[in-house]
Structure 1
Amino acid sequence: MKTFYDYYHNQVKLSFDSHPFSEYPKHVWVICRFGKQWLLTKHKDRGLEFPGGKVEDGETPDEAAVREVMEETGGEVSELTYIGQYFVEGRGGTIIKNIYFARASTLYARQHYFETNGPMLLDALPSNIKKDRRYSFMMKDGVLPFSLRQIDVMNLNGTSQS
């Protein structure tokens, strides 16, 4: 288990074990690829980030991950792999979030991308992402680099992380 502090100085506990904090977390985050590119979304307030969100009533976290990628990017998930889970006790309460790696096989143009401005494809993630104002706070703590390393360890990416 990894322990560190997020962008807002809340303690984060990150594990790549199977559901260490909850079997049914209420949030998901999906590190996504489309072909050889990273598939992100541009949140209207937070900036560039990987898709994710809340698990709705009656759906599993896996189903929520697939739905969030479609809603926020128009990406149709063809492969979805659980990577890990993290726990944050913050001012707004406790958040437990599943982390997934996904591949999208198709990108569909959508009339509405919900709270985002739609997909953003990148050949590489910037090395200075923590200081880059275009990126969401969710991209700036230890969850992303540790998860990218785990994706490489699991041999899911098929390419280097940058």
Structure 2
Amino acid sequence: MISIVSFNDANGVHVELTFGENRFEMPARHVLVVLRHKGKWLLTRNSVRGIEFPGGKAEEGETIEEAAVRETIEETGVTITNLVKFAEYVVQSNVTFCKAVFTAEVVHIDESPILHETEGAEWMSDSELDACTNLSFYMKDEGMSAIRKWVDTYESQRND
């Protein structure tokens, strides 16, 4: 069963989130990587927006899977593998775009990475993430709660 969540984000922009494959008429060219490793969520600190999951835009000629791996390395120093695309969302702003949401497994953590656009990896437990006062605006909406819940369920089923 495909689930669709429709809401306005913290900036008042309409967002449609779906758990399923290619439910929107536009291809995803942006990515978001939501994963937990050893009980902690992988996040990054954006100097402007605050704490958020790693992600960004696919470059010319790059698949969204390649973009997810590259963005995670660039923003956190963490290398990932076994990507699972589990959701997409469309942000209907001045320039409407579609973002693919992935989870993955950690292969390697570079403790001294060369970073792009962020201040590096932040690892947080559920309670630390829930109590964080410096979250990016997109981390505060109902879509992110649904995404985190999906990853929780996926991990539980995978580890059984």
How would you bin the TM-score normalised by the shorter chain? Answer: 0.7 to 0.9
Q: Does 1:96 align with 2:107?
A: no
Once the two structures are superposed, residues 40-96 of structure 1 have per-residue CA deviations (whole angstroms, 9 ceiling, x without a partner) of 110111111000000111111111001111110011103311111001111x31021
Structure 1, unpaired ranges of 5+: none
- Count residues with an aligned counterpart: 154
Structure 2, unpaired ranges of 5+: none
Rounded to whole Å, the distance in 1 between the matches of 2:102 and 2:39 is 17
Rounded to whole Å, the distance in 2 between the matches of 1:52 and 1:22 is 21
Rounded to whole Å, the distance in 2 between the matches of 1:158 and 1:43 is 32
Once the two structures are superposed, residues 4-43 of structure 1 have per-residue CA deviations (whole angstroms, 9 ceiling, x without a partner) of 1101111111111211115631100110223221111101
Q: Does 1:83 align with 2:86?
A: yes
Q: Does 1:46 align with 2:49?
A: yes
Give the superposed CA RMSD.
2.0
Q: Does 1:114 align with 2:116?
A: yes
Report the CA distance shift for 1:22/1:33 in structure 2 as closer, same or farther (over 3 A): farther
Rounded to whole Å, the distance in 1 between the matches of 2:121 and 2:61 is 27
Report the CA distance shift for 1:157/1:72 in structure 2 as closer, same or farther (over 3 A): farther
TM-score, length of structure 2 as denominator length: 0.87
Report the CA distance shift for 1:111/1:102 in structure 2 as closer, same or farther (over 3 A): closer
Q: Percent identity?
A: 33
Superposition misfits of 4+ residues, deviation over 4 angstroms: none
1:139 is paired with a residue whose SS is: helix
1:93 is paired with a residue whose SS is: coil
1:113 is paired with a residue whose SS is: coil
1:135 maps to a residue whose letter is L
Rounded to whole Å, the distance in 2 between the matches of 1:22 and 1:65 is 21
Report the CA distance shift for 1:75/1:157 in structure 2 as closer, same or farther (over 3 A): farther
Q: Does 1:60 align with 2:37?
A: no
2:35 is paired with a residue whose SS is: strand
CA contact (8 A) 2:76 2:113 kept: no
Greater fraction helix: 2
